[in-house]
DNA sequence: TGCTAAATACCAACCGGTTGGTAATCTAAC
DNA sequence: GTTAGATTACCAACCGGTTGGTATTTAGCA
């Protein structure tokens, strides 16, 4: 509640942990996990290495905490987003996709997913980080599951299930990020969402 | 012609370059670009660092060459694959998707894409690598474009175009890889392909 | 005072890259 | 068809800088 806003750029005493986690999100999204050094994180957060290892036992431990932090930050963003307004569950799904498409209007470095970026590098070398990223992605997918389930029932669709559709939505978004980064154009991410929207439109129109 | 086969595991003289490129493909796909050191590449290839910098001006230069090598290796794999057999272009697309689904049966480290993995880390820090990866992905997508174009005409579909569909196919595959790595299960990649197949089935059935 | 957050200073290992040299291979003159 | 000479392919040792991580000290709050 009365969370004192960080008055200026300099982090106050007690802010080091969050400053490091925020730095991790932006640095890892820009340049990946392995290329991001502890020194770099400390510099970006405006703290020293002593503070880093006071709050985190290792770089890996920070990675796990950063994935949790990412879930919290994005969770708050999506919870506050206006796409929950429609009464019909399918309309809420479409509103979610429109919202994701709008998010992809920003700079390239802002449209990627911390968890997706980190897990691509670390899936074979750090199980704690892999699991934390999996929980982040699957957790976000789960917020769509109830709407998908309701829409499936409403339209009498049985050829797939809500969990699969929710995960596929995340897969298409992740793939859109990869292509956008490669082609240097966020439009690639929006195109992927547009195809996904058409898929869902046809899938749910079929049963109506 | 009389190219003596490499008698044993030890690379003969002249093999160093290819050995390094092959090592790059497997190491980067497993642990990402930044986590893969030049020493590691040399050890895996069975050569010394002197050989490395004889063939490549820098680690970045090897990255660009590895992306080209990746295109050549996968290009040969897909060119020799049996999915080109069907007479109907749409059937060839479906056969391609089935083939990609089969490929995802192997171990997790074998289902990922070198270009997609590398570009996710390097898109903001190395434009040469970013462009080489983009060329690899877009080049592979282009091999599907003619079939998509023919199928679109055949079914009278105008709401999208062949290039967009070909790129979206790659986006779904890339996203499937990310989810498979996160969840530790290649089935996630196959699920993504299955949803893509259903999308295309409905899209092209509509126009028939 | 007692406890925690953060700063300073430091380390051994490893990073990408360079060095000077050696051995295999190609070329061409004879 | 041999062989001198240029060229390529490769090796071992090394370089300065950076890595993740630690030990010790100082400042702030209750």
- Using one digit for the tens of pLDDT, what is the confidence trace for B148-169? 999 999 999 999 999 999 999 9
At B72, is the secondary structure helix, strand, or coil? helix
| CA B20 to C1' C21, whole Å | 23
Answer whether A178's CB lies under 8 Å from B116's CB: yes
Residue B3: pLDDT above 60? Answer: no
Q: Which residue has the higher pLDDT, A106 or B92?
A: B92
Question: Of B133, B179, B206, which is closest to A170 when you measure between CB atoms?
Answer: B179
Task: Measure the CA–CA gap between B206 and B208, rounded to whole angstroms.
Answer: 6
Confidence grade of residue B108 (pLDDT, cut at 50, 70, 90): confident
Query: From the C1' of D27, which residue's alpha carbon is nearest?
Result: A13
Average pLDDT over residues B62-74: 96
Give the nearest chain B residue to A31 (CA atoms): B121
Residue B164's φ and ψ, nearest 5 degrees, are -65, -40
pLDDT average, residue stretch B117-129: 96
Helix locations, chain B, DSSP H: 16-31, 38-45, 49-55, 59-80, 89-103, 114-122, 127-155, 162-183, 187-207
Distance (Å, rounded) from C-alpha B47 to C-alpha B50?
Answer: 8
Tell whether the model's pLDDT for residue A64 goes beyond 90: yes
Distance separating alpha carbons of residues A41 and A53, to the nearest angstrom: 12
The nucleotide whose C1' lies nearest the CA of B48 is D11
In angstroms, the CA A65 to CA A171 distance is 23
Residue contact B123–A34, C-beta within 8 A: no
- CA atoms of A101 and B12, how far apart (whole Å): 52
DSSP 8-state symbol, B99: H
Is there a contact between B133 and A182 if contact means CB atoms under 8 Å apart? Answer: yes
Those residues with Cβ within 8 angstroms of residue A66's Cβ, 6 or more apart along the chain or in another chain:
A21, A24, A25, A28, A114, A118
pLDDT over 80 (residue A13)? no
Specify the 3-state DSSP secondary structure of B35. Answer: coil
B130 contacts in chain A (CB < 8 Å): 181-182, 184
Nearest CA in chain B to A199: B199
CB B33 within 8 A of CB B132: no
Gyration radius from chain A CA atoms: 19
Q: What is the mean pLDDT of chain A?
A: 90
- pLDDT of B61 strictly over 90: yes
- What is the reported pLDDT for B110? 77
Residue A5 pLDDT > 60:
no
Residue A10 has pLDDT above 70, yes or no: no
- pLDDT for the residue A208: 54
A13 CA to D28 C1' distance (Å) = 9
What does the alpha-carbon distance between residue B43 and residue B120 come to, in Å, rounded to a whole number?
A: 25
pLDDT for the residue numbered B22: 95
Please answer whether residues B73 and B61 qualify as being in contact, where contact means their C-beta atoms are separated by less than 8 angstroms. no
Strand C neighbours among B 54-83, CB < 7 A: 57-60
Is the confidence at residue B206, as pLDDT, over 90? no
Q: Is it the case that residue B137 has pLDDT exceeding 80? A: yes
> Are B130 and A182 inside 8 Å of each other by CB?
yes
A66-104 pLDDT per residue, tens: 999 999 999 999 999 999 999 999 999 999 999 999 999
Question: What is the band of B7 on the pLDDT scale with cuts at 50, 70, 90?
Answer: very low
Q: Tell me the per-residue pLDDT of B89-104, one tens digit each, with 9 for 90 and over.
A: 999 999 999 999 999 9
> Looking at the predicted structure, is the pLDDT value of residue B79 above 70?
yes
pLDDT over 60 (residue A1)? no
- Please check the confidence at residue A8 and state whether its pLDDT lies above 70: no
pLDDT single digits (tens) A151-171: 999 999 999 999 999 999 999
How close A43 gets to chain B, by Cα (Å)?
Answer: 18
Contacts of A24 (CB under 8 A, 6+ apart): A36, A41, A62, A63, A66, A69, A114
The beta-carbon neighbor of B137 closest among A34, A137, A182 is A182
Residues 166-195 of A with CB under 7 A from strand C: none
Strand D nucleotides in reach of protein CB atoms, 7 A cut-off:
9-14, 18-24, 28-29
B125 touches strand C (CB under 7 A): no
In Å, how far are A103, B15, B19, B45 from B3, measured between CA atoms? 55, 12, 16, 20
pLDDT of res. A111: 85
Q: Identify the closest residue of chain A to B125 by CA–CA distance.
A: A31
B172-184 pLDDT tens trace: 999 999 999 999 9
Query: For residue A17, is pLDDT > 80?
Result: yes
* Cβ contact, residue pair A184, B130, below 8 Å: yes
Mutation choice for B interface testing from A178, A192, A197 by most B CBs within 10 A: A178
Residues of B in contact with A176 (CB under 8 A): 171, 175
């Amino acid at each position: 509640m009365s969370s004192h806003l960080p008055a200026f750029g300099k982090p106050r005493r007690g802010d080091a942990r969050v400053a490091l986690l925020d730095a991790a999100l932006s640095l890892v999204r820009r340049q990946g996990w392995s290329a991001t050094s502890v020194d770099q994180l400390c510099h970006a957060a405006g703290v020293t290495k002593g503070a880093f290892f006071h709050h985190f036992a290792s770089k890996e431990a920070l990675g796990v905490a950063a994935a949790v932090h990412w879930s919290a930050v994005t969770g708050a963003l999506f919870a506050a987003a206006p796409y929950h307004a429609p009464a019909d569950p399918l309309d809420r799904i479409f509103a979610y996709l429109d919202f994701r498409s709008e998010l992809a209007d920003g700079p390239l470095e802002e449209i990627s997913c911390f968890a997706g970026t980190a897990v691509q590098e670390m899936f074979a070398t750090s199980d704690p980080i892999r699991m934390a990223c999996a929980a982040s992605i699957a957790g976000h997918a789960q917020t769509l599951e109830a709407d998908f389930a309701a829409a499936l029932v409403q339209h009498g669709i049985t050829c797939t299930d809500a969990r699969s559709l929710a995960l596929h939505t995340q897969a298409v978004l992740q793939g859109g990020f990869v292509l956008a980064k490669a082609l240097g154009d966020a439009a690639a991410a929006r195109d992927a969402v547009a195809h996904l929207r058409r898929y869902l439109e046809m899938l749910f129109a079929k049963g109506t």
